[in-house]
A = this chain, B = another copy of it.
Amino acid sequence: MLDALRACGLKVTPQRLAILNQLVGDPTHPTATELFGRLREELPSMSFATVYNTLAALTKQGLCAARQLESGPVRFDPNVAPHDHAVCDSCGLVIDVMTEGLAAASAATNLKPVQGFSVRSVERIYRGRCVQCAAPNEPQTDAEKETGD
């Protein structure tokens, strides 16, 4: 953590360590607001702007990635390796999907120019319903997720 910051020329501060620790290993693709909420007790004086500033700095240095998978706030991803995402239409859940086999080969193929574009990356978004929400009886809403229901 500490080394990762130094390695890319960012000063090591308690705020940055806390944000990076919170984000690393979190597979839920949290928003800035979610991270801010989780860090309030650890660093009660931290400003919201610092969360945005820090996430922007980390993103620019490639320590995390910003993803806009749907309308609403940007989500942050500690997984900077190329991968795809599945997004639940019903509850908003986002999970990583590793491209594999034929798909991976196809992704490589797709780095060929497309209609004049010089392609730097290809990402795929699977939309549908997660396991919870696909179950016919109890579709989980965003509101329910928040109350832990």
Contacts and interface: CB of A to CB of B under 8 A. Distances in A.
Contacts of A116: 130-131, 134
Interface residues of A, number: 35
Q: How many copies does the complex hold?
A: 2
B110 A120 contact: no
A90 B55 CA distance: 21
A2 interface: no
Nearest to A88: B117
A149 B139 CA distance: 51
B118 A127 contact: no
Nearest to A74: B71
A56 B4 CA distance: 44
A128 to B, nearest CB: 4
A124 interface: yes
Contact of A129 (B66, B70, B117, B131): B117
A68 interface: yes
A123 B128 CA distance: 12
A120 B90 CA distance: 12
6 contacts: A66-B71, A71-B74, A89-B120, A102-B106, A102-B109, A120-B127
Interface of A: 66, 68-71, 74, 86, 88-89, 95, 97, 102-103, 106, 109-110, 114-131, 134
